[in-house]
């Protein structure tokens, strides 16, 4: 093999002297290094894993690595000695580099022999045998892993509604990566086992009841916003111009709602692609919930003369103030499982120069000597029909009045007729007892008082301190009327 090495190396030197000096040396070094690594890896792996067991293969393949080694040697030394070293010192430096390069080979072989002398051949054979068994065992597992990574799907039961995927309780088929990396860690779904199907799957009626209760709550919020009007005063360059000197953006609308009415609406929920810069009728959408949008449309756009009389004598831009009135359009789009439910009430608006739009007011009535709203009187009348020994839930009262549970809770919080109006007979949907003014805990005096009142009236309690479901009162049509 040494003779073959000498012939191959000499032939490579001749080729380099004839053609290689004009090559791109960076490319030559990269190609030879990659070729040596690939050749050594190919030969070593085939011999180690007993794919090819031949001494000629072990001895002949390394001959292929001789030309790349010679190319690297010529390029390294030629570049350093001829191109970079100054004239006169090239011979000394070449004589220094040559023995340094030749010393590395015998030193490496000696170190290799010393290290390998501590390993017995029997132990090496056992190690190779165990490695072969391990590789054989891992092959099917690797195939399964690769098959799972390409379009493998699993069945999941949804714990919450997921957009464009399904509703709570649905069993869906998704990709394994989507389930493993998003649905399961975010606690949106569980794997579709028999136990999980029994625990999380809901029937159509239960889903519709939950959706209907949510719809009532959101309708109550929109009903509360229906009487809100927001005024903005802006100047125009001239009396005939419709372009404003300062725009109205979503932040202005949000600040005005919070300042004047205490309604907190985030800027992100106000859909205003471009600020309002001109007079006229404009529509602004406010997203109350992910599945609901409430539309705000501009009412009458009016002009009002400035109060100061001196403004008429001044020259320049018009001093008239343009007022924007945003009147709420009760427009609800609720996405349900069966069909899209739409309830809309259109409000027409026109641009006028004078006159003011009528403002909706909350009507109060005289009921039992107190000044209350009409809705509060309906709540108190209905609760007064609950007999002793029975209770109702906030959701039950709200459903009977076609309103929201929060509106019922606010009315009961302001109850001025206790104990004539038995507000303690209205409890949460879980049939647990919550204290007055947000008190919690079994040791709270408010909860103890409420429990005592219900116990005296004959209401039964379970072992977990909840009201017996048999004590829940169902309202009749005559009571609601």
Would you please indicate which residues are annotated as catalytic (active-site) residues? 423
Residue 393: CA count within 13 A, CB half-sphere: 18
**What whole-number distance in Å separates Cα of residue 478 and Cα of residue 344?**
29
In contact, 305 and 315? CB cutoff 8 Å = no
From the list 282, 280, 303, the residue with the least C-alpha distance to 234 is 303
On whether the CB atoms of residues 160 and 167 are closer than 8 A, the answer is no
Chain center to CA of 196: 24
Instruction: Find how far residue 207's CA is from the centre of its chain.
Output: 23
- d(CA 377, CA 449) in angstroms, rounded, equals 25
Q: How far is CA 200 from CA 186, 208, 297, in A?
A: 16, 15, 42
Collect all residues with Cβ–Cβ distance below 8 Å to 163 and sequence separation of at least 6.
290
Residue 173 DSSP label: E
Question: Long-range contacts: 19-22, Cβ < 8 Å, 24+?
Answer: 20/71, 20/74, 20/75, 21/78
Q: How far apart are CA 441 and CA 434, in angstroms?
A: 8
What is the bridge-based pairing of β-strands 340-344 and 171-175?
A: unpaired
Residues 6+ apart with CB under 8 A from 364: 371, 372, 373, 374
- CB of 306 closer than 8 Å to CB of 321: yes
Burial class (CB in 10 A: 0-12, 13-18, 19+), 293: middle
Residue 303: phi, psi to the nearest 5?
Answer: -115, 140
From CA 257, how far away is CA 225, in angstroms rounded? 10
What's the DSSP call for residue 84? I
CA distance 301 to 279: 7
């Amino acid at each position: 093999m040494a003779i073959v090495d000498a012939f191959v190396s000499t032939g490579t030197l001749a080729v380099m002297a004839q053609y290689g000096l004009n090559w791109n040396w960076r490319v030559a070094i990269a190609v030879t290094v990659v070729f040596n690594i690939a050749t050594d890896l190919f030969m070593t792996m085939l011999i180690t894993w007993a794919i090819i067991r031949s001494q000629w293969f072990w001895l002949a393949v390394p001959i292929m690595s001789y030309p790349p080694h010679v190319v690297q040697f010529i390029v390294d030394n030629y570049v350093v000695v001829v191109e970079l070293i100054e004239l006169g010192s090239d011979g000394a430096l070449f004589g220094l580099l040559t023995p340094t390069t030749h010393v590395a080979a015998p030193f490496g072989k000696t170190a290799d022999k010393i290290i390998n002398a501590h390993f017995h051949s029997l132990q090496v054979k056992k190690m190779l045998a165990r490695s072969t068994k391990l590789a054989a065992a891992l092959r099917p597992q690797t195939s399964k892993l690769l098959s799972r990574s390409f379009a493998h799907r699993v069945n999941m039961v949804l714990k919450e509604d997921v957009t464009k995927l399904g509703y709570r309780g649905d069993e869906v088929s998704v990709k394994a990566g989507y389930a493993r990396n998003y649905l399961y860690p975010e606690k949106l779904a569980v794997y579709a086992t028999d136990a999980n199907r029994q625990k999380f799957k809901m029937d159509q009626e239960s889903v519709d009841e939950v959706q209907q209760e949510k719809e009532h709550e959101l309708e109550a919020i929109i009903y509360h916003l229906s009487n809100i009007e927001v005024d903005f005063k802006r100047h125009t360059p001239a009396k005939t111009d419709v372009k404003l000197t300062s725009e109205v953006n979503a932040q202005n609308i949000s600040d005005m709602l919070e300042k004047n009415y205490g309604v907190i609406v985030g800027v992100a929920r106000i859909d205003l692609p471009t600020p309002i810069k001109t007079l006229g009728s404009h529509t602004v959408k406010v997203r109350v919930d992910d599945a609901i949008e409430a539309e705000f449309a501009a009412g009458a756009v009016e002009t009002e003369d400035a109060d100061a009389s001196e403004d008429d004598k001044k020259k320049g831009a018009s001093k008239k103030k343009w007022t924007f009135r945003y009147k709420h359009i009760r427009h609800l789009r609720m996405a349900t499982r069966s069909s899209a439910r739409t309830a809309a009430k259109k409000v027409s608006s026109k641009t006028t120069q004078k006159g003011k739009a009528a403002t909706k007011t909350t009507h109060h009535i005289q009921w039992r000597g107190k000044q209350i709203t009409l809705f509060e009187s309906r709540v108190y009348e209905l609760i007064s029909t609950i007999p002793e020994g029975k209770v109702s839930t906030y959701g039950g009262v709200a459903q009977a009045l076609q309103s929201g549970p929060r509106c019922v809770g606010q009315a009961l919080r302001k109850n001025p007729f206790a104990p004539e109006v038995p507000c303690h007979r209205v409890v949460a949907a879980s049939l647990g007892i919550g204290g007055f003014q947000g008190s919690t805990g079994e040791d709270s005096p408010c909860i103890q008082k409420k429990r005592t009142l219900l116990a005296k009236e004959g209401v039964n309690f379970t072992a977990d301190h909840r009201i017996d479901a048999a004590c829940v009162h169902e309202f009749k049509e005559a009571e609601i009327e």
